[in-house]
A = this chain, B = another copy of it.
Amino acid sequence: MFKSYNADDKLHEECGVIGIYDSDGEDVADKLCYGLLALQHRGQESAGIAVSNGDKVDYHKDMGLVTEVFNKEIVNKLKGNIGIGHVRYSTTGDSHVYNAQPLVVKYRNGSISLAHNGNLVNANTVREMLEDEGVVFQTSTDSEVVANLMARYHKNGIEKSIKKVMGLLKGAYALTIMTDNKLIAVRDPHGLRPLCVGKTKSGYAVASESCALDTIGAELIRDVKPGEILVIDENGLNSVPNDKWCRKSLCVFELIYFARPDSLMGETDIYKSRREAGKILAREYPVDADVVISVPDSGTAAAIGYAEESGIPYTEGLIKNRYIGRTFIQPTQQLREQGVKLKLNVVHENIRGKRVILVDDSIVRGTTSRRIVDMLKNAGAKEVHVRVSSPPVKYSCYFGIDTPNRQKLIAANYTVEEITEQIHADSLGYISIEGLIRSTGKDEELQRSGFCMACFNGDYPMEVPKQSDDDN
């Protein structure tokens, strides 16, 4: 009867990270909290903060939303002018408090605290190598693998140690690392996961998305570059650049869905590119209709773009209940058949007797799409034309996104015509890959677009596990 908040038909980001260094010595736990609130959409399972005052590290983390895990009393106890924070989404298997982050360890030279967004594809290999040497693990997180590697190389000093560790790791990672007196930000050489740095009144902050910087009153400086190590300490901000080269491959779903629309990523403005995608979609799949509506909230920017381009008015056709929360008593199948529906309701006036264009950002399994189309038709929509601002998702992700196995990806198994029928739509149009690239303001071939689009075309930026057809 209880279901997770995330048990919907969307892809899910697995984490958000933040770090703050205050050179005036002021405590940063409250700002970390506010920053995590702004990143909460990236993970709702657990939240945590670790701080250092140069002398002593303290931390607090638990299952739950930021507002559930932290309160005034807890925040006030976390004393320190350096700190990192983490919000986590997780796959069911490892949903346990011991996997909450940041991970805090003691090693030869003091403490290391880590918060990680991404996924290492060779985590198990490295783990086994370490286990052969007698290392023990207390979690199933990549962070613990990274921390152990860092401690291995402790004699070299922290920057060199991280450099060496990066030489061993394969996969996606955006890391905030705290030592007793440094804040360090690291991004994998492909730049698969986002990470940016900003200036606060009296120091620096790094975060997965710029909206977290906005929230704490920091000014965005730039993205952490793929492969870069940024070290913030009493000497200010220093960069250890990547001395190798590789193709930049930011996860395209950051653009399409994960990132908050008010964030900027590199040269890309999230909101603008989503609206632009809507415009391109309108050109690629025009249809005669009365209204354009979105699946709130993530489809709205594209829907507005579609409306603008097509001249068909945008309106709100679905209202989302804001109070359902992370977990609540879900209606039984019987109740659902009686019409009980918690999350979305139709604005009848805007739908009844209308030909509706419904803009969504993606279709994963197709189950939610069908439910929404049915709901609109029951409310009197004459036609429902579904437009999707991302291409068909056909391949699993290995870089930190919780994709179902390929059997459940509707576009991996059915043609667009079949999907149209399955979701009960009158027509269906997915934006093309080229259109999506153009929506970012670029006009380049896929290889040089700077995005990882493997979930659409299987072109992974590095070797990944072979996908059998029957794995789960």
Contact = CB atoms under 8 A, between A and B. Distances in A.
Interface of A: 1-2, 30-31, 33-34, 37-38, 40-41, 44, 65-67, 70-72, 75, 103-108, 112, 131-132, 134-138, 147-148, 151-154, 200-201, 211, 214-218, 260-262, 264, 269, 271-272, 275, 297, 300-301, 304, 308, 313-316, 319, 321-325, 328-329, 331, 335, 338-342, 345-350
A323 B134 contact: no
A108 B137 contact: no
Nearest to A65: B323
Contacts of A301: 316
A217 B138 contact: no
A350 B262 CA distance: 9
Given A136-B148, A217-B339, 14 more contacts: A31-B335, A33-B329, A38-B342, A70-B329, A103-B138, A106-B138, A108-B134, A134-B154, A136-B147, A214-B341, A214-B345, A215-B321, A216-B338, A269-B349
A262 B319 contact: yes
A67 B323 contact: yes
Q: Which of A154, A261, A262 has the most CB of B within 10 A?
A: A262
A269 to B, nearest CB: 4
Nearest to A108: B131
Contact of A134 (B30, B107, B275, B348): B107
Given A304-B316, A340-B216, A262 B107 contact: no
A408 to B, nearest CB: 25
Contacts of A2: 72
B319 A313 contact: no
Contacts of A342: 34, 37-38, 215
A72 to B, nearest CB: 5
A340 B34 contact: yes
Nearest to A128: B108
A191 B201 CA distance: 54
A348 B213 CA distance: 13
A314 B314 contact: yes
A122 to B, nearest CB: 18
B329 A262 contact: no
B151 A348 contact: no
Smallest CB-CB A-B distances: 6 pairs: A217-B339, A105-B136, A134-B152, A40-B323, A67-B325, A269-B349
A339 B349 CA distance: 40
A308 B134 CA distance: 59
A235 to B, nearest CB: 23
Nearest to A346: B262
Contacts of A214: 341, 345-346
Contacts of A345: 38, 211, 214-215, 260, 262
Contacts of A340: 31, 34, 215-217
Contacts of A37: 321, 323-324, 328, 342
Contacts of A308: 313
A321 B264 CA distance: 17
Contacts of A322: 40-41, 297, 322
B104 A131 contact: no
25 contacts: A30-B335, A31-B335, A31-B340, A33-B329, A41-B322, A44-B323, A67-B323, A67-B325, A71-B329, A107-B131, A107-B136, A108-B134, A134-B153, A134-B154, A136-B147, A215-B341, A215-B345, A217-B339, A264-B348, A269-B348, A269-B349, A271-B350, A272-B349, A304-B313, A304-B314
Contacts of A40: 321-323
Given A72-B1, A151-B136, A340-B34, A315 B275 contact: yes
A287 to B, nearest CB: 20
A280 to B, nearest CB: 17
A321 B216 CA distance: 13
A115 to B, nearest CB: 15
Contacts of A323: 37, 40-41, 44, 65-67
A107 B132 CA distance: 8
Given A216-B339, A329-B33, A345-B262, A134 B106 contact: no
A35 to B, nearest CB: 9
